[in-house]
Amino acid sequence: MRQQNKYNQKVLISQEQIQESVHAMGERIAADYGDDPLTIIGCLKGSFIFMADLVRAIPRPLHIDFIEVSSYGNELSSSGNVRIVKDFKHPVQDSHVLIVEDIVDTGLTFDFLFEHIRLKKPTSLEIAALLVRSTVDLKKRPVKYHGFTIGEEYVVGYGLDAAGLYRNLNHVAVFEQ
């Protein structure tokens, strides 16, 4: 049986499990890119906690930037339309780029970000995500680095929110309304 957090939500992925996964992912990223220039672009707001831990786990110089897109607003379900709220500024042409996402869910944001950044002609473009839904077709949407595969439950914590709340939890929990 899963443990409960103080909000009476089931803890799905503990703080310890997350940190172990993030550390391993950081080591793999560092090995894969060697000394080549690497730009990491975090997708706000959900990725900010994961990204902070991830970049500290990559022992090398990095360019760091952020993009903010929205398809949810303050709702609990996607509108189906992705729009840029804040674009990244660091030039990425002829640089390796790693997009950092909290979760690859429907693939809508993934597709939008991938195409938006690909048009700026990076040397390579990959995705790192803390969570990937089991329903995501990883052949169609390859997520090179990911921490955990989850089902269809609505999750919060470690950057993920429910109408703007619970991002600050140090673990991932199943949201129970």
Query: Which CATH number does the domain housing residue 65 bear?
Result: 3.40.50.2020
Determine, yes or no, domain membership for 131.
Answer: yes
Per-residue pLDDT tens digits of the chain, which is 177 residues long:
456 666 668 999 999 999 999 999 999 999 999 888 899 999 999 999 999 999 999 999 999 999 999 875 555 555 568 889 998 998 899 899 999 999 999 888 888 998 999 999 999 999 999 999 999 988 888 999 999 999 999 999 999 999 889 999 999 999 876
Number of domains in the chain: 1
Q: What is the DSSP letter of 162?
A: B
Place of tokens 């989850």: 150
Parent domain of 52: 16-151
The two three-digit tokens of residue 18, written as one number:
């997350």
Determine, yes or no, domain membership for 166.
Answer: no
Q: Which residues are catalytic?
A: 105
Q: How far is CA 44 from the centre of its chain?
A: 9
The two three-digit tokens of residue 47, written as one number:
């990725």
Determine, yes or no, domain membership for 1.
Answer: no
Q: E strand or H helix at 16, and its extent?
A: helix 15-33
Determine, yes or no, domain membership for 74.
Answer: yes
CB 15 within 8 A of CB 177: no
Determine, yes or no, domain membership for 21.
Answer: yes
The two three-digit tokens of residue 45, written as one number:
């707001």
CB 129 within 8 A of CB 145: yes
